[in-house]
Amino acid sequence: MYAFEIERPSTIADAVAALQAEDAQALSGGQTLIPTLKARLAMPSALISLSGIGEMQGLCMSDDGALCIGGGTTHATVASEAAAHYPALAAMASHIGDPAVRNRGTIGGSLANNDPSACYPAGALGSGATIITNAREIAADDFFDGMFTTVLDEGELITEVRLPIPQAANYQKFVQPASRFALVGVFVAKYADGVRVAVTGASEEGVFRWSEAEAALSADFSASALDGLSVPADGMIADLHGSAAYRAHLVGVMTGRAVAAAS
Amino acid sequence: MPKDSGIGASSKRREDVRFLTGAGNYTDDINIYGQTYVHFLRADVAHATINAIDTSAAAAMPGVLQVFTGADFEPVGGIPCGWQVTDRHGEPMQEPKHPVIAHGKIRHVGEIVAAVVAESLAEARDAAEEIELNLTELSAVVDMKDAAAGGTKVHDDLTSNVCYDWGFVEENKGAVDEAIKNAAHVTTLELVNNRLVANPMEPRVAVGEYSRADDMHTLHTTSQNPHVIRLLMGAFVLSIPEHKLRVVAPDVGGGFGTKIFHYAEEAFCTFAAKAVNRPVKWTSTRSEAFMSDAHGRDHVTKIELALDADNNFTALRTETYANMGAYLSTFASSVPTWLHGTLMAGNYKTPNIYVNVKAVFTNTVPVDAYRGAGRPEATFQIERVIDMAARELGVDPIALRRQNFVTEFPYATPVAVEYDIGDYEATMAKLEEIADIGGFAARRAESEARGKMRGLGVNCYIEACGIAPSNLVGQLGARAGLYDAATVRVNATGSISVMVGAHSHGQGHETSFPQVISEMIGIPEDQIDIVHGDTSKIPFGMGTYGSRSLAVCGSAMVRAAEKVIDKAKKIAAHLLEASDADIELKDGQFSVAGTDKSVAWGDVTLAAYVPHNYPLEDIEPGLEETAFYDPANFTYPAGAYACEVEVDPETGKVTIERFAAADDFGNVINPMIVSGQVHGGIAQGIGQALMENCSYDENGQLISGSYMDYTMPRADDLPFYDVDHSCQTPCTHNPLGVKGCGEAGAIGSPPSVVNAVIDALQSGGKDVTHIDMPLTPTRVWDAMNNA
């Protein structure tokens, strides 16, 4: 990597101020950023570590019953501490990467990076989460803006993620064999006002909602409700590990399995 | 009752204490005062003309000692190839120069274009970014058949991209063609043996040193065979005589063949250490390893198996394209020929066999031996085509194999080798027992009840190990002898150091070799150490590959120990005032036959070094002997493997439910270590069959260049194995009766995995007869849905 300065502020305000410096870059768990630096694919002047910001750590329940997760909370913490409140989300977090990844990687970092094969974008979009930053609140439906892209502004930090607790939910991941990211991952959540189905890994546009499945499942929350439904292969990712048609097929399979496991 | 020491005991691996506690001494652990670091600028295009390289800005960067390009290496030799293959027409293979640093042309992604030596690695990397390359990119040739057909040439000075067109045995071709024409049934299969990256846990490292005081060069390197590196680099590349070049390969974290070869980075660090008069160190990153370690396999084959009306095999004919990559790596040319064609008889008495191999240059990383080296490619073809024939004929695949087994030994195959001994029926019967083949139908029914397709695949294998008789391989084009050597040095108090030419990088020699000496002399194993991996400490050695260490170097060690014992008996005879011929050695005691007179091993060894009462007029003091051993034949480990898989019909995902291996390795020194070798080999075989795939795009870019895309098998991909090596037909021509076990698992496992998947799909009503490895979920799903 190239040489850089590193700062470790203890408040969100200090972090936001530090990020004003030219070419400063926020460092959360670093699970994508550090390999990128090691490959010399980025040259930040300074890394602003978020790991010392206590107000971005941990989980709590809001008065209206949503699970609130600090943006700097690791996957391992979510896996253990969300289990009593939102077991499907905790189970999803417990299968991201390996223990080393889960003990460093954070929910805020994952959402801000919006890797098209990451799990958290599906969890957040499938839960209809609210992404809270130092500047504003953004509905998950408005947050993701295509592969590796979000609506976050330069220097804007995810400080918290609020997830309404569904009546039933499940995440099914069919892993890409080498990386064990999601080749296709589907998060299904049933709320009083309808079912949400969020798909990661599959689309060239990044995480998306499968609206036909949502409508069918809102009417009848059973795997058989998906019979005859499919997503088109157009726009699906095609690579060594799966053709576009295969990914489109897996979206149906994984959605059915998630519904079966959730109900 | 199992023995607790000596031959046949599962002695605990003594080397694991240091490996598991972080006390190993790997090449990257070696740091020398004044050491500098090299960063290699590697090609990011597969094929280009180098018009100019401007290193002036780089040379002026902080910390830089020197920047090297191909021009600096013009006065030295190229990286040599150790085996000259002669083609069907009697002509030598085409052998292009393989420069240490690309000169004039770039021929594969990852090839070294320039090198920066600096005070720190970061400074070297910074400076490398300032090197200006003026390139004219050329179209790349990646597909082997395209390369063979003409068009873009990898080497302008060669007549074509075909390194050789080899026919074996050329004189048999007419008879084979005739037998196929007259056959009752011919099964034809076209298949790919997928390109692999060995991926040892420890990446390659080289540290070059030069001493002006005595004009001595030292190379510390991650090698399976330090003397081979000394020979190749000293004699062919840098013109350094042996006595001025020491090569040290300390603890090495896995080799799998890819650390046999002499690499450009080794020559560079040795050369540059003298040029900058400082030690020069290189540690490969994993990314560099993917594009600079020699790759393995990469064959495309058409195989035809002919049978008579009674299902006896009558002929086998193959046409194989073998990828050499852009240059000939050390043993690249021998892998698809002498390590592949000679094994095409398999375990079967097929009377007519003809093998054609076209070795082809492409704009890819050089391809060379990887665990099994040619023998997995042979086994895969034979065992897949037999399975397909059984299916076409509607006969049981095990019965078809049995019917055609070689049953009488020695057996001279139609492909030039003679199997000294074996019992293929015994390993098949053992396999049926340990794999519980009788219980398969019930297990299939249980899987089907859960909505899964279940398949059983079986295969046999044979390999030629204990490489190799020097006079024979010399006739076949080897440019080296393939004996090995050992020195048994007995110390005054009776403890023993054995200097061996074999190199241990996971095989457990430090444990198993002393077991042999302990058995011969009758002293505890912990009184014996082996020394390996340093040309200044061991007499000579051709190293470890081809499952040869115990069969060849172990035999040399036995011969040296026999000489030691003979001499010790003479000393004992003197001390006991008896005749040499009456002295017996047992349990560390020399005794006079028929009497109660005896003297302990330690008293005799002390006498050898403190020769106060000693027959100095007849024998020299001291107790140290060296032996070189050149094998009379290859050894032929063989066995039978079974795999059971489940296939998910919705996703195409294959899971291995059971895996059984019945091997005949001849005599076994340490059963635990042998089981471990088989386990590791099977893991790599399953990796090849289901996961691993080194893939290039049409421009020669490596698209599986990291673990994000190159799938290594992991513990949760693998089943528990049922392995057995109780079927033992001892090798007839080496003193220990051993055959070698290191590669068997990787050779024997891929066909059974693929056979099992095909069996599963057919049981589920899918008309799929073949899928090329690796059988990833997407490929299996595609095959099911196109069927």
pLDDT at B1 over 90: no
Tell whether B159 and B217 lie within a shared domain: no
What's the pLDDT tens digit per position in B677-706? 999 999 999 999 999 999 999 999 999 999
Q: Is residue B468 part of a domain?
A: no
On chain B, the residues whose CB falls within 8 A of the CB of A243 are: 778, 782
Tokens of B665: 């390795």
Asked if B20 reaches chain A (Cβ–Cβ under 8 Å), the answer is: no
Q: pLDDT-derived band of residue B2, with 50, 70 and 90 as boundaries? A: confident
Q: What does the pLDDT read at residue B787?
A: 67
Nearest partner of B587 among B515, B527, B522, judged by Cα: B522
pLDDT at B100 over 70: yes
Asked if A40 reaches chain B (Cβ–Cβ under 8 Å), the answer is: yes
Q: What is the 3-state secondary structure (H, E, C) of B200-218?
A: CCCCCEEEEEEECCCCEEE
Tell whether B509 and B385 lie within a shared domain: no
What's the pLDDT tens digit per position in A90-148? 999 999 999 999 999 999 999 999 999 999 999 999 999 999 999 999 999 999 999 99
Backbone angles phi, psi at A67, to 5 degrees: -85, 125
Interchain CB distance below 8 Å, B778 and A40 = no
Nearest CB neighbour to B781, from listed A179, A239, A246: A246
Q: What does the pLDDT read at residue B506?
A: 92
pLDDT at B676 over 80: yes
Tokens of B292: 């600079």
Q: Is residue B289 part of a domain?
A: no
Q: What does the pLDDT read at residue A242?
A: 97
Segment B476-490 shows an average pLDDT of: 95
Helix (H, G, I), strand (E, B) or coil at A210: coil
Interchain CB distance below 8 Å, B651 and A253 = yes
**Residue finishing a domain among B402, B431, B454:** B402
On chain A, the residues whose CB falls within 8 A of the CB of B703 are: 240
The CATH number that applies at residue B270 is 3.90.1170.50
Asked if A250 reaches chain B (Cβ–Cβ under 8 Å), the answer is: yes
Q: What does the pLDDT read at residue B510?
A: 97
Say whether domain A56-164 belongs to CATH 3.30.465.10: yes
Residues B81 and B392: their CA atoms lie apart, in Å, by: 43
Contact A55, A70 (CB under 8 A): yes
CA dihedral for B543, B546, B552, B557, sign (positive or negative): positive
Q: Is residue B63 part of a domain?
A: yes
On chain B, the residues whose CB falls within 8 A of the CB of A3 are: 122
CA B529 distance to own-chain centroid = 25
Contact B755, B397 (CB under 8 A): yes
Q: Residue A241: closest CA among chain B residues belongs to which residue? A: B778
Domain count, chain B: 4
CATH classification number, A5-49, choose in 3.40.50.80, 3.40.50.2300, 3.30.43.10, 3.20.20.70 = 3.30.43.10
Alpha-carbon distance A253 to nearest alpha carbon in chain B (angstroms): 7
Q: Give residues with Cβ within 8 angstroms of A263, minimum separation 6.
A: A168, A190, A221, A222
Helices (H) and strands (E) in chain A — how many of each? Answer: 10, 12
Q: Is residue B411 part of a domain?
A: no
Asked if A240 reaches chain B (Cβ–Cβ under 8 Å), the answer is: yes
H runs (alpha helix) in chain A: 12-18, 33-38, 75-81, 87-93, 99-104, 107-113, 120-126, 140-143, 211-219, 244-262
b/e per residue B695-713 (b: at least 16 CB within 10 A): ebeeebbbebbeeebbbeb
Tell whether B701 and B769 lie within a shared domain: yes
Residues present in chain A in total: 263
Lookup result for tokens 């190199």 = B503
Tell whether B496 and B600 lie within a shared domain: yes
Alpha-carbon distance B712 to nearest alpha carbon in chain A (angstroms): 7
Tell whether B97 and B223 lie within a shared domain: yes
Asked if B708 reaches chain A (Cβ–Cβ under 8 Å), the answer is: yes
Asked if B776 reaches chain A (Cβ–Cβ under 8 Å), the answer is: yes
Segment B62-66 shows an average pLDDT of: 98
On chain B, the residues whose CB falls within 8 A of the CB of A249 are: 781
Q: In terms of residue numbers, what domain contains B90?
A: 31-138+204-283
On chain B, the residues whose CB falls within 8 A of the CB of A117 are: none
Q: What does the pLDDT read at residue B769?
A: 97
The domain defined by A168-262 folds into Enolase-like; domain 1 (3.30.390)
Question: How do A66-70 and A59-61 pair as beta strands?
Answer: antiparallel
Contact B485, B539 (CB under 8 A): yes
Q: Is residue B500 part of a domain?
A: yes
Q: What does the pLDDT read at residue B474?
A: 92
Segment B294-308 shows an average pLDDT of: 98
Q: Is residue B311 part of a domain?
A: yes
ipTM: 0.96
The CATH number that applies at residue B503 is 3.30.365.10
Q: Which run of H or E residues covers position B304?
A: strand B299-307
- Could you tell me the residue ranges of all domains in chain A? 5-49, 56-164, 168-262
pLDDT at A156 over 70: yes
Mean pLDDT score of chain B, rounded to an integer? 97
Nearest CB neighbour to A243, from listed B650, B693, B778: B778
On chain B, the residues whose CB falls within 8 A of the CB of A238 are: none
Q: What does the pLDDT read at residue B786?
A: 86
Taking residue B132's Cβ as centre, other Cβ atoms within 10 Å add up to 11
Tell whether B456 and B503 lie within a shared domain: no
Q: What is the pTM of this model?
A: 0.97
Q: pLDDT-derived band of residue B151, with 50, 70 and 90 as boundaries? A: confident
Residues B102 and B89: their CA atoms lie apart, in Å, by: 32
DSSP string computed for B215-242: TEEEEEE--S-HHHHHHIIIIIII---G
pLDDT at A263 over 80: no
Contact A186, A172 (CB under 8 A): yes
Q: What does the pLDDT read at residue B51?
A: 98
Q: Is residue B470 part of a domain?
A: no
Q: What does the pLDDT read at residue B619?
A: 95
Tell whether B449 and B556 lie within a shared domain: no
Nearest partner of A46 among A15, A12, A70, judged by Cα: A15
Interchain CB distance below 8 Å, A40 and B691 = no
Contact B488, B478 (CB under 8 A): no
Tell whether B642 and B692 lie within a shared domain: yes
Q: Is residue B530 part of a domain?
A: yes
Q: What does the pLDDT read at residue B145?
A: 96
Residues 247-306 of chain B whose Cβ lies under 8 A from any Cβ of chain A? 287
Tell whether B93 and B233 lie within a shared domain: yes
Q: pLDDT-derived band of residue B634, with 50, 70 and 90 as boundaries? A: very high
